[in-house]
Amino acid sequence: MESTKTLKNTDLPAFLAIVEDYLPGNDTEELLAQFDKGEGIFAAYYLDDDLIGVCFGSGAGGRDICLSGIAIIDPYDKQGRGGKLLGFFEDVARAKGFESISLGSADGYVERFYIKNGYQPQSLKILTDNDKWKEREHPQFKITDVEEQGKYTKLVLGNMDYENMDKHGLCEFYGGHDCFFVFGKEIGW
């Protein structure tokens, strides 16, 4: 039997194993602290009693929650389970009073997954560690905001034309070394 529900305490080791294997770059100690404090949402996909998928995120107060990661393990992925797990995460977020979900997306099929599930691209973010961007202005895709992220500068391009944007070309144009789209979805009643 398959089910989506809130992650059980007893499944924390399996949760952490999935995060480490499928969602590298997440701070597992921070996730454990959030879980222990009851902060954020930790959704799980179970096949019988086995954890085969996770979806988690947190909100800094207010109306928006940030989805930090979602994964269904192989060979159970690409069969509609990710969409079901995401829908459960949305339901829990709505029940907790959140009105929207935002996330930074990986490339390719991940972007298509979010679009298929009703998420809209909101901005392109480019990470750079140099000042080349100060000397350039793209005629169509201009920088609308600048944020600091540790040693990096995060350039925000809000003029969205997702279908026609060459994000990697824009990243190179502005002197960036990494880029990603931010997606969002309104989930309020």
Taking only the tens place, the pLDDT of each residue in 160-187 is 788 888 999 999 999 999 999 999 999 9
86 and 151 belong to one structural domain = no
78 and 8 belong to one structural domain = yes
CATH number at residue 82: 3.40.630.30
Q: Is residue 21 part of a domain?
A: yes
92 and 144 belong to one structural domain = no
- φ, ψ for residue 74 (rounded to 5)? -75, 135
91 and 17 belong to one structural domain = yes
Cα–Cα dist 158/69, whole Å = 23
Domain residue limits at 12: 2-98
- φ, ψ for residue 162 (rounded to 5)? -50, -45
Taking only the tens place, the pLDDT of each residue in 142-158 is 999 999 988 899 999 98
87 and 130 belong to one structural domain = no
Taking only the tens place, the pLDDT of each residue in 4-49 is 999 999 999 999 999 999 999 899 999 999 999 989 999 999 999 9
Give CA 185 to chain center in angstroms.
Answer: 12
Q: Is residue 188 part of a domain?
A: no
What domain count does the chain have? 2
Q: Is residue 105 part of a domain?
A: no
14 and 82 belong to one structural domain = yes
Cα–Cα dist 101/41, whole Å = 12
